[in-house]
Amino acid sequence: MLCQECNKRPATLHFTKIVNGEKTEFHICETCAKEKGEMIPGTPNGFSIHSLLSGMLDFESSTKSQSPGHSGPQNLQCKDCGMTYAQFSKLGRFGCPSCYQYFDSRLDPLFKRVHGSTSHVGKVPVRTGGRLKVKRQIDDLKKEMQQHIVQEEFESAAELRDQIRKLEKEMIEE
């Protein structure tokens, strides 16, 4: 594909810009991108990850229905730090850990777009993350049990079921 600016050099940068819900695709070469001061890592004046983010967040709020008075995204507010969703989308930053809960209903699409995923599978705090570790263990056992059931290995499946019950009981008692 040739660069859409100069039509001479091959396009090496491909990106999508979203402005007010309007999606535009760009295919340009590095030379033209530099001249336009756009986006490539390593250019001065290149647009930063934060302006890119806040573009996405605006997109989020402008496409969904905003029935007045109802809990449209602009009315969401963090009760701990006071940050509103509108401020968040402008700043591209959360104000405090609780913002994640108060804005939760709006976050899946954002995380999906930035990370391609919505939930954490990595490290868990050693001291405070015990419960989550057990929960993940239970999930793994359930998956394994399902496989045994599919293969009609009911005895092994029953063993796993007992293990799961034991872990679940421990979690409730904690």
Partner 1 sequence: MPNIRFTEKPLSDWMRGEAADSEIVISSRVRIARNLQHLPFPILATNQQSEEALQRLTDILQYDDLGRFGTFHTLKISELDEIDKQVLVEKHLISPNLANESRNGAVLISDDESVSVMINEEDHLRIQCLYPGCQVREAWERATVIDDAFEAHVDYAFDDRRGFLTSCPTNVGTGMRASVMMHLPALVMTHQINRILSAVSQVGLTVRGIYGEGSEAVGNLFQVSNQITLGQTEAEIIENLHGVVLQIIEHERSARERLMNESMLRITDRVMRSFGILSYAAVLESKEAAQRLSDVRLGVDLGILERPSTAAMNELNVMTQPGFLQKSFGDKMNTGERDMYRAKLIRQKLGTTL
Please identify which residue in the block is written with the tokens 């809960």: 101
5 interface partner picked from Zn ion, partner 1, none, CB below 5 to 8 A per type: Zn ion
* Long-range pairs, 109-115, Cβ under 8 A, ≥24: 109/60, 110/56, 110/57, 110/60, 113/56, 114/53, 114/56
CA–CA distance, 117 with 110 (Å, rounded to integer): 9
What are the respective helix, strand and coil percentages of the chain, to the nearest 5? 50, 10, 40
Q: Does 76 bind Zn ion (CB under 5 A)?
A: no
Of 74 and 151, the one with the shorter C-beta distance to partner 1 is 74
Residues whose CB is less than 8 angstroms from the CB of residue 137 and which lie 6 or more positions away in sequence, other chains included: 167
Q: How far is the CB of 126 from partner 1 (least distance, A)?
A: 5
Q: Does 3 bind partner 1 (CB under 8 A)?
A: no
Site for partner 1 in 78-97 (CB under 8 A): 80-81, 83, 91-97
Q: Which of 114, 146, 154, 165 binds partner 1 (CB under 8 A)?
A: 114
Q: For binding to Zn ion (CB under 5 A), which residues are involved?
A: 3, 5-6, 9, 29, 32, 78, 80-81, 83, 95-96, 98-99
Q: For binding to partner 1 (CB under 8 A), which residues are involved?
A: 12-14, 29-30, 41-46, 48-50, 53, 80-81, 83, 91-97, 100-101, 107, 110-111, 114-129, 131-132, 135
